[in-house]
Amino acid sequence: MQLPRCGVRDKVDLGLDARRRRRRYTLQGSKWPRNELSYRISKYPQSLTDRVAVDKEIARAFKMWSDVSPLTFTHKETGPVDIDIQFVRGEHGDWEPFDGPGGLLAHGLYPRYGGDAHFDDEEKWTIDEYKGVNLFQMAAHEFGHSLGLDHSNVPRSVMWPFYMGFVPGFQVHRDDIDGIQALYGKQHPHGFARRTSSSSCVRFCLALYWNTPPVGRFLTARAVRPVPAGAALPRNGSAPAKREGTWTLTERWRYSFDNRAMMRGGLYTDGE
């Protein structure tokens, strides 16, 4: 009996002998030229009527990859996006029509072909259930294709082509991590706390910060320094009087961004 599976054709030998010889990921050959990617669900599944729940599962699937790489994913309701997600049936305008319940469940297009992800809407998509097909697990797999990964011959990996049923605690395998990092590099060791807007992005690490456009490379790093003693601190997350900016709270620090000025538990300005 053929197991339900991803519709992307295999380029890796999945036989037992091959898995014994070489257990590793496979790269498709294309990747995105930037790390900041956007997506939209343009057609939702009929079997899941709670769209908010679907949005959460899709975001979880993207987070699986962003947690182990420098990639970021933004859900957009309007405008152009990098990855378009659709739940469709049968022939739907690409190279691989769906075949109804069972068989081919979904497929993700590689970056060079647009990166979109298609799911068979005749399947019963479910969330945290043993019945049907788990949306989170299949989405994580298809998004691996959308990012440039091919199938792996490691059975417990996300990129294993066969759907093995609902797996509580499903998580990325070391083989998947090696694959995505071979394409995009490792996640920054210290992470970034950041606030984004429609026109700019401020990123910082330790005592340095960068101003960047929404899409593009980092600009010159700048140091931060405290304003002389006596600068008023905000209380309860509100900005000081007569100051503009958007406040972001974390467990230990407050951050405010106003052009190139920021606050971190106190008032800071750029190091020029």
> Which residues are catalytically annotated?
142
The reply to whether 75 sits in an annotated binding site is no
- Per-residue tokens: 188: 């920054």
Three-state DSSP state, 138: helix
**Beta-ladder partners of 87:** 119
Residue with tokens 């008032």: 267
**Beta-ladder partners of 125:** 133
The reply to whether 188 sits in an annotated binding site is no
Pairwise CA distance, residues 251 & 262, whole Å: 17
- Per-residue tokens: 264: 């971190």
Pairwise CA distance, residues 131 & 141, whole Å: 19
Strands 261-264 and 267-270: antiparallel
The reply to whether 173 sits in an annotated binding site is no
The reply to whether 145 sits in an annotated binding site is yes
The reply to whether 6 sits in an annotated binding site is yes
The reply to whether 99 sits in an annotated binding site is yes
The reply to whether 123 sits in an annotated binding site is yes
Asked if 178 and 211 touch (Cβ cutoff 8 Å), the reply is no
The reply to whether 91 sits in an annotated binding site is no
Strands 133-134 and 125-126: parallel
The reply to whether 50 sits in an annotated binding site is no
The reply to whether 93 sits in an annotated binding site is no
Q: Which residues are annotated as a binding site for Zn(2+)?
A: 6, 92, 94, 107, 118, 141, 145, 151, 159
Q: Which residues are annotated as a binding site?
A: 6, 82, 92, 94, 99-100, 104, 107, 114, 116, 118, 120-121, 123, 141, 145, 151, 159
Q: Which residues are annotated as a binding site for Ca(2+)?
A: 82, 99-100, 104, 114, 116, 120-121, 123
